[in-house]
Amino acid sequence: MSLLLIVLLGAFVLGNAIGTLTGARAFLDPVAALLCVVLIEIAIRLRGPLRRRPGDRLGLELVDMTRMGFSYGLLLEGFKLL
């Protein structure tokens, strides 16, 4: 349980940092947005094979926690920059 929490918070901090740095500099906003969308899309595509694999679900849960933390960090930073 603590590993999932660490992954969730780490991804949140990463999403928050990316939003802060690109928002403050206003230099590479489109490139950073594209990169973030690509990372989230890759995480979504990784879920398929992990869901079909029998046995331990830790990999699936780690991908989900990373995706949720990253998305929430970006969303929260976007609201702060408005």
Q: How many other C-beta atoms are found inside a 10 Å radius of the C-beta of residue 77?
A: 19
Place of tokens 């079909």: 52
Please give the chain's pLDDT, 82 residues, in tens: 688 899 999 999 999 988 888 877 777 778 888 888 999 999 999 998 989 988 888 889 999 999 999 999 988 987 886 7
SS3 state at 35: helix
Domain count, the chain: 1
Q: Which domain holds residue 12?
A: 2-81
